[in-house]
Amino acid sequence: MLASLFLAATMAPSSPPNVVIVFTDDQGYGDLGCFGAKGFSTPNVDRLAKDGIRFTDFHVSQPVCSASRCSILTGCYANRLGIHGALGPNARHGLHADETTIAEVLKPKGYATGIVGKWHLGHHPQFLPRRQGFDSYFGLPYSNDMWPHHPEAKAGYPKLPLFENDTIVDDDVTAADQATLTARYTERAVRFIQANKAKPFFLYVAHSMPHVPLFPGEKFKGSSKQGTYGDVIQEIDWSVGEILKTLDEHDLAKNTLVIFTTDNGPWLSYGNHAGSAGALREGKGTVWEGGVRVPFVARWPGVVPAGAVCREPAMTIDLLPTIAKFAGAELPKAKIDGMDIGALLKNEPNAKSPQEAYWHYYGTGELQAVRSGKWKLMLPHTYRTMADQKDGADGTPGRYRQGNRAENQISGLDTDMGEAKNVAAASPGEVKW
């Protein structure tokens, strides 16, 4: 009994934690060493997993940029807030100021808040990060392929801007500039930590890559066996290492929750410039597991046990209420969809997902899949696939064809994570509305 009480005391945080979320773009489930990556190494993220916890069944709400970012920051299914797909330079809308982000949840508790990297929730002044609770912002307003230099650029794409807070500091980001983005984001992240080391802080590092076009920094070109994609991942891993080193240098690691995850699965049409979904089916732009199941690792020494693995389902919508609970902050007044997964992060005995089901929407809000426990229901819909198609290469994409899910499919993901078998006929009682 005394031993249990002592363990509980040592696992309890003494003050509100610092929070660092590293959120990459289009990085697949199989694109970390601790998730089986081949052809490149990720020692710093692997160190996070070794010193903390790895979730093997973590999901995004939608397999696309803006919607996914909306969910991680607000704790809501993106369609609840009217955010669908990937907002382009011609979009007139964004995340409404009345919505509440993690940054706005933490501000009343005295947190400094900063974002470096890709925003993609509206590029007009009223939608920028400083209107959503962030003290500082440095990065791109949307995806790095939304520029006139991309092979697949749509007619009318303007020059790609780089923002410092609310001001455009470079109105024409070039290929040479893109090769410096990961390093510049990292420098800003390190400076943010150093400047706010005396108070609690929330840092959101949203890397522009490995979304295409791929531009590794000069020091990382040719550094991996997998080519340009591997080089980019290894530079992102270096970035994580610099953040961890800064936390160590300022004695902040012991009270900092560090999370690494990504916004959706790999953009498979790009072939050797795309990542891997591992054993999962399909990728970005689909609600098959390869599109919505993503790698997730977290570390918080003394609270998150080292070397732990969580196999329970969880989702990005659950991060806001979890972080709020850790910080002693109030939840948003408006309804959110996420639930506290602190018990899962702390690897408490017999901890279960707090959600009865997770819902996957896509397109303009179409419900396409439902996850409950080990079961996943795929509803009838069309989806894009590269099956039997020629892969793209070296930055030029291949062409998707349309697949068709004409009937309900039920998969037992505990034994069929590749969703190869439809057990709906054998399990008619599993679908109930």
Query: Would you name the residues annotated as active-site residues?
Result: 65, 120
Q: What are phi and psi of 404, to 5 degrees?
A: -140, 120
Alpha carbon of residue 73 to chain centroid: 10
315: which strand partners? 59
- Listed in sequence order, the residues at least 6 apart from 167 whose beta carbon sits closer than 8 Å to its beta carbon are none
375: which strand partners? 372, 412
167: which strand partners? 164
Burial annotation 76-105 (CB, 10 A radius, 16+ → b, else e): bbbbbbebbbbbebebeebbeeebbbbbbb
Is the peptide bond preceding residue 210 cis, with omega within 30 degrees of 0?
yes
139: which strand partners? 163
Q: Is 373 left (phi over 0), alpha (psi -120 to 50) or beta?
A: left
Report CA torsion sign: 340, 344, 349, 355. positive
- Alpha-carbon span 100 to 123, nearest angstrom: 18
Half-sphere exposure of 106 (CA within 13 A, CB side): 32
> In 3-state terms, what secondary structure has residue 277?
coil
